[in-house]
Chains A and B, each alone.
Chain A
Amino acid sequence: MTADTTILGHPASEAAGAPPHPLREFWSYFSANPGAVAGLALILALILLALCAGIVAPHSPIVTHDDAFLRPPFWEEGGSLTYPLGTDSIGRDMLSRLIYGARLSLLIGVVVVILALVAGIILGLVAGFFEGVVGIAIMRLMDVFLTLPSLLLAIVIVAILGPGLANAMIAVAIVQLPNYVRLTRAAVISELAKDYVTASKVSGAGTLRLMFATVLPNCLAPLIVQASLGFSSAILDAAALGFLGLGAQPPQPEWGTMLADSRELMLRAWWAVTFPGLMILVTVLAFNLLGDGLRDAFDPKLKR
Chain B
Amino acid sequence: MLRFVLTRVSLIIPTFIGLTLLTFILVRLIPGDPIEAMAGEHGLDPARHAQLLHEYGMDRPVLVQYAFYIERVLHGDLGISAVTHAPVIQEFSTLWPATIELSTCAMLFAILVGMPAGIIAAVKRNSIFDHGVMALSLGGYSMPIFWWGLLAILLFSSLLGWTPVSGRIDVQYYIEPTTGFLLIDSWNSDDPGAFWSALSHLVLPMIVLGTQPLATIARMTRSAMLEVLGEDYIRTARAKGVPPRRVVGLHALRNALIPVVTVIGLQVGSIFTGAILTETIFSWPGVGKWLVEGIFRRDYPVLQGGVLLLGIMVMTVNLTVDLLYGVINPRIRHAR
Distance in Å from the Cβ of A253 to the closest Cβ of chain B?
16
**Does A82 touch B at the CB level, under 8 Å?**
no
What is the size category of the interface that chain B forms with chain A?
Answer: 35 or more
Known: A143-B15, A244-B280. A256 touches B146 (CB 8 A): yes
Known: A150-B270, A150-B273, A243-B277. A274 touches B18 (CB 8 A): no
A window 73-107: CB within 8 A of B: none
**Does A280 touch B at the CB level, under 8 Å?**
yes
Please name the residue on chain B nearest to A146 by beta carbon. Answer: B269
**Does A220 touch B at the CB level, under 8 Å?**
no
Known: A140-B15, A147-B318. A277 touches B295 (CB 8 A): no
**Does B76 touch A at the CB level, under 8 Å?**
no
What is the size category of the interface that chain A forms with chain B?
Answer: 35 or more
**Does B136 touch A at the CB level, under 8 Å?**
no
Distance in Å from the Cβ of B137 to the closest Cβ of chain A?
11
Does the CB pair A144–B15 fall under 8 Å?
A: yes
Docked complex Cα distance between A280 and B138 (Å)? 14
Docked complex Cα distance between A140 and B150 (Å)? 38
**Does B58 touch A at the CB level, under 8 Å?**
no
A window 205-254: CB within 8 A of B: 232, 236, 239-240, 243-246
Does the CB pair B307–A156 fall under 8 Å?
A: yes
Most buried by B among A35, A141, A148, A256: A148
**Does A16 touch B at the CB level, under 8 Å?**
no
**Does A266 touch B at the CB level, under 8 Å?**
yes
Encode B126-152 as 1/0 by CB contact (under 8 A) with A: 000000000000110111111110110
A152 to chain B: which residues have CB within 8 Å?
Answer: 272-273, 276, 291, 307, 310
Encode B261-296 as 1/0 by CB contact (under 8 A) with A: 000000001101100110010000000000110011
Docked complex Cα distance between A263 and B282 (Å)? 12
Does the CB pair A149–B270 fall under 8 Å?
A: yes
Among listed B22-30, B42-50, B82-90, B249-257, interface-contacting one: B22-30
Encode A272-304 as 1/0 by CB contact (under 8 A) with B: 011011001100110011000000000000000
A158 to chain B: which residues have CB within 8 Å?
Answer: 295
The listed residue (A140, A243, A276, A281) touching B14 by CB distance below 8 A is: A140
B273 to chain A: which residues have CB within 8 Å?
Answer: 149-152
Does the CB pair B142–A285 fall under 8 Å?
A: yes
Docked complex Cα distance between A143 and B11 (Å)? 11
**Does A173 touch B at the CB level, under 8 Å?**
no
**Does A267 touch B at the CB level, under 8 Å?**
yes
Distance in Å from the Cβ of B159 to the closest Cβ of chain A?
9
A171 to chain B: which residues have CB within 8 Å?
Answer: none
**Does B321 touch A at the CB level, under 8 Å?**
no
The listed residue (B21, B138, B143, B276) touching A155 by CB distance below 8 A is: B276
Does the CB pair B310–A277 fall under 8 Å?
A: no
A35 to chain B: which residues have CB within 8 Å?
Answer: 138
Docked complex Cα distance between A144 and B13 (Å)? 11
Does the CB pair A273–B154 fall under 8 Å?
A: yes
Please name the residue on chain B nearest to A262 by beta carbon. Answer: B150
**Does A270 touch B at the CB level, under 8 Å?**
yes
Does the CB pair B147–A259 fall under 8 Å?
A: yes
Docked complex Cα distance between A285 and B144 (Å)? 10
Does the CB pair A148–B310 fall under 8 Å?
A: yes
Does the CB pair A148–B280 fall under 8 Å?
A: no
**Does B315 touch A at the CB level, under 8 Å?**
yes
B292 to chain A: which residues have CB within 8 Å?
Answer: 155, 244
Please name the residue on chain B nearest to A246 by beta carbon. Answer: B295
Does the CB pair A236–B272 fall under 8 Å?
A: no
**Does B311 touch A at the CB level, under 8 Å?**
yes
Encode B148-185 as 1/0 by CB contact (under 8 A) with A: 10110110001000000000000000000000000000
Known: A143-B15, A156-B26, A245-B296. A151 touches B277 (CB 8 A): yes
Docked complex Cα distance between A35 and B141 (Å)? 15
Docked complex Cα distance between A1 and B289 (Å)? 56
A146 to chain B: which residues have CB within 8 Å?
Answer: 269
Please name the residue on chain A nearest to B292 by beta carbon. Answer: A244
Does the CB pair A288–B144 fall under 8 Å?
A: no
Distance in Å from the Cβ of B165 to the closest Cβ of chain A?
10
Does the CB pair B147–A150 fall under 8 Å?
A: no
Distance in Å from the Cβ of B75 to the closest Cβ of chain A?
22
Does the CB pair B291–A155 fall under 8 Å?
A: yes
B148 to chain A: which residues have CB within 8 Å?
Answer: 277
**Does B19 touch A at the CB level, under 8 Å?**
yes
Does the CB pair B146–A259 fall under 8 Å?
A: yes
Please name the residue on chain A nearest to B27 by beta carbon. Answer: A160
Additional A-B contact list (6), CB under 8 Å, known A147-B19, A236-B142: A144-B22, A147-B311, A149-B272, A149-B276, A151-B277, A277-B146
Between A and B, 27 residue pairs with Cβ closer than 8 Å are A143-B15, A144-B18, A146-B269, A147-B18, A147-B315, A148-B19, A148-B269, A148-B307, A148-B310, A149-B269, A149-B273, A149-B276, A149-B310, A150-B269, A155-B291, A158-B295, A159-B295, A160-B30, A259-B147, A259-B150, A270-B154, A273-B154, A274-B151, A277-B144, A277-B148, A284-B144, A288-B141
- Interface of A with B (CB < 8 Å)? 35, 140-141, 143-144, 146-152, 155-156, 158-160, 232, 236, 239-240, 243-246, 256, 259, 263, 266-267, 270, 273-274, 276-277, 280-281, 284-285, 288-289
Q: 4 shortest A-B CB distances, which residue pairs?
A: A277-B147, A144-B18, A151-B273, A149-B272
